[in-house]
Every structure is written in structure tokens, then in C-alpha cells.
Amino acid sequence: MEKIVAAPPWRTSDVALLDVCRRAIPGYNPWRDAGECSFDVTSARRVLEFFTECLRHVEGELAGRPFALEEWQVAIIANLFGWLRADGTRRYRTAFVYVPRKNGKTMLAAGVALYCGMSDGEAGPQVYSAASEKEQAALIYRDAVGMIAQEPELDARCRIFRTFKSIEFRETSGVYRSLSSDAKTKHGFNTHCAIVDELHAHVSRELVDVLTTSTGARRQPITFIITTADYNRDSVCNEFHDYAKKVRDAVLADPYFLPVIYEATKADDWTSPETWRRVNPNFGVSVKADYFAEECEKAKKRPAYLNTFLRLHLNLKTDSDVAWFPSDAWNLNAGPKPWTEFPA
């Protein structure tokens, strides 16, 4: 007999939902810079119910089960769709979700794409997911198609074109397409929802800029960015990451940008399960504790793997993919070259 799990408090209590929205985004309180914006519980619950009632997991041990949002996901979705401006349109226009791999961000993004295409009250919505390569671009599309296939009501409202990696939304006259940076046509869009997948892998900012600038004609567009950490370098990913941290820390005032940052710091003990749990919000769900322990042991025994572990699993920026000698230790030994000290 399947174990019956009690519904989380936010499902039945508005007070509990507001509490999750206020505290569950690391280091950021959406009420701090809200100004004239207000949180509408009805708007938030509408999209939360879409996820939990209409969407199902596509793969793994949860395949076929309802998409029961974890608390951290509730905070993202409810804040993103629940906050309204004084004119009744959505407050947040950009969400930057910076979280290590295997935390379920692709599924979350696929759900956002389907909601914006079918249930967001937008006429003729154009929804795009953008990635650096064709294979990566297809991941969100694959999850979206898999969720549609498991729900007859969604299936009846969609027409899927697998060759073109696109979905037609019949009732809203909308469309979803997955794009990659090598797409021949990247202009002429009228984007309602732009999902940027793994921003750290984008070698240029062209596709990101094309999509974000194509939202100007929409009444309440959304740009939903998901990524793991980049290397220490000049990149569009690090530009967004730096901006998100400044918004989170109130260094910059931008009430329309939602910064969601899960990352370790150099001061953290990367071998500690406490660090793993804090940085990986889906720890114990899609991120398995035994797998994490094995990866950590691998990083301890194989120095060449350490940077991979730190960047992909703890969202800590590294100088390169492989490092046999830590750059901070190298810099501590900086000084005159030996041959410059010999007399002429």
C-alpha cells in the first residue's frame, strides 16, 4: 500500500504560503523593495495548482507521479506569478535561478513554459527556450512533451511537432519552440516567455539579448533563466550572477528582478553534508545523499576532479575545469621570478 503523505501547509493555508514566499529564497525578502506592488494569493495559487494538478514527472523513480513542488520551488513560482504591480500586471519580469545540477530546474522550467503558453491569459503567446547547443535545447522541450502526454486535458489542447521541436497551443493560438545558438533565424520574435537554459554554456550573449529585447511588446513578459555556475571569467552568466547578488543584497534596487541563488563560498567546508544540503535545495529528493558522498570522495582522491565537484555540485566558480594546484595557493607564492634575481 502506498504511503499517504500529508499535504504541505502551504497547500491549505494562505499564511503558510506567504511564509514560504518570504523566507525560502536565500538571502532575499521580496517584501523589502515591493513599493506599490502587492502579493495576490489567488494569482499565486492558480499557477501552483497548475503544476500540482496538471503536470507529472517524466523520468526516474518519480515518473508518472504528480509534480509535487518542493518548498524552494513553491517560493520561486509563487513569488514570480503572485506579485502584481499597481496596474495589475506582474511585478517580476526576470527570474535568475542559480542552482547546482540535478536539482530539477529543467522540469521546473518546462512547467513555466507550459503555463505561460496555455494558462497565463495571454493572446498568441510565444514561448521560447534557448540553450547553447541543440541537444541541451531539446531537454526542456522533451520534459514539456512528456508532461503533455501524461495529461489528457493538456494533450487535447496541444499539437506537437517533434521535427521542429515545437508545440502549438490551440486555445491560446500560442507556440513554444526550443532554440539553440546555431539556429538560422533568431529575429522577428514577439516573446511572452523566454527561458534561458544553462546560461553558463552560452559562448556569446547574442541569443539571450535577442530574446530579452523581443519581449518589449508584451504586457507582462517573463524571462526565466536557469543555470549552474560558470568559470571565473568574463561571461554573460557571470554578469547576470553579479547583478543578481547585488539585487539580493540591496546594493542595487531592482524590484522587478527575482534573484534565486544557491551557492557555496570558499569559506564553506565542501566536504560537509551540511554544506551540501544548504546549497542543493532538492537534496534528498532528486539529489541523492549517497551519490553526493561518492562524488565528494572522488574529489578528495582525484584532485583533477575537485573543480568539477565544486562548480557543478556546489555552484562555486572555479578558474578552470581541472586544477592540480589551487589558484589562491599559487597566488600566495607570487613574487619575483628566480632568474630576475641573478646579477647582470
Domain membership of residue 338 (yes or no) is no
> Do residues 246 and 298 both lie within one domain?
no
Give the dihedral of Cα atoms 183, 188, 194, 199; nearest 10 deg.
40
Domain count of the fold of the chain? 2
d(CA 37, CA 220): 14
- State the pTM of this model: 0.90
Domain membership of residue 255 (yes or no) is yes
> Do residues 214 and 291 both lie within one domain?
no
Q: Which residues pair with 130 in a beta bridge?
A: 179, 196
Q: Which residues pair with 174 in a beta bridge?
A: 169
> Do residues 279 and 247 both lie within one domain?
no
d(CA 141, CA 109): 10
Q: Looking at residue 25, which CATH number applies to its domain?
A: 3.40.50.300
Domain membership of residue 250 (yes or no) is yes
Dihedrals phi, psi of 81, to nearest 5 degrees: -100, -15
> Do residues 89 and 149 both lie within one domain?
yes
Q: How many other C-beta atoms lie within 10 A of the C-beta of residue 145? A: 20
Domain membership of residue 4 (yes or no) is no
d(CA 115, CA 118): 5
Q: Are 127 and 174 in contact (CB under 8 A)?
A: yes
> Do residues 245 and 215 both lie within one domain?
yes
> Do residues 283 and 246 both lie within one domain?
no
Residue with cell 497548475: 50
Report the relative pairing of strands 158-161 and 166-169 from DSSP bridges.
antiparallel
Q: Are 262 and 280 in contact (CB under 8 A)?
A: yes
> Do residues 234 and 153 both lie within one domain?
yes
Domain membership of residue 207 (yes or no) is yes
d(CA 5, CA 12): 14
Give the dihedral of Cα atoms 303, 305, 311, 312; nearest 10 deg.
-150
> Do residues 77 and 180 both lie within one domain?
yes
Structural domain range at position 285: 273-331
Phi-psi region of 83 (alpha: psi -120 to 50; beta: other; left: phi over 0): beta
> Do residues 32 and 132 both lie within one domain?
yes
Report the relative pairing of strands 94-98 and 222-227 from DSSP bridges.
parallel
> Do residues 137 and 279 both lie within one domain?
no
Domain membership of residue 192 (yes or no) is yes
Burial 288-304 (b: 16+ CB within 10 A, else e): eeeebeebbeebeeeee
> Do residues 96 and 67 both lie within one domain?
yes
d(CA 293, CA 272): 9
Domain membership of residue 3 (yes or no) is no
Sequential pLDDT tens for the chain (344 residues): 445 567 889 988 999 999 999 999 999 999 999 999 999 999 999 999 999 999 999 988 889 999 999 999 999 999 999 999 999 999 999 999 999 999 999 999 999 999 999 999 999 999 999 988 888 888 999 999 999 999 999 999 999 999 889 999 999 999 999 998 765 556 679 999 999 999 998 888 888 888 999 998 999 999 999 999 999 999 999 999 999 999 999 999 999 999 999 999 999 999 999 999 999 999 999 999 999 999 999 999 998 899 999 999 999 999 865 554 454 543 444 444 443 343 33
d(CA 158, CA 174): 10
Domain membership of residue 169 (yes or no) is yes
What integer pLDDT is reported at residue 243 of this predicted model?
98
> Do residues 194 and 292 both lie within one domain?
no
End residue of a domain, out of 261, 295, 314: 261
Please state at what angle helix 105-118 crosses helix 134-149, rounded to 10 degrees. Answer: 60
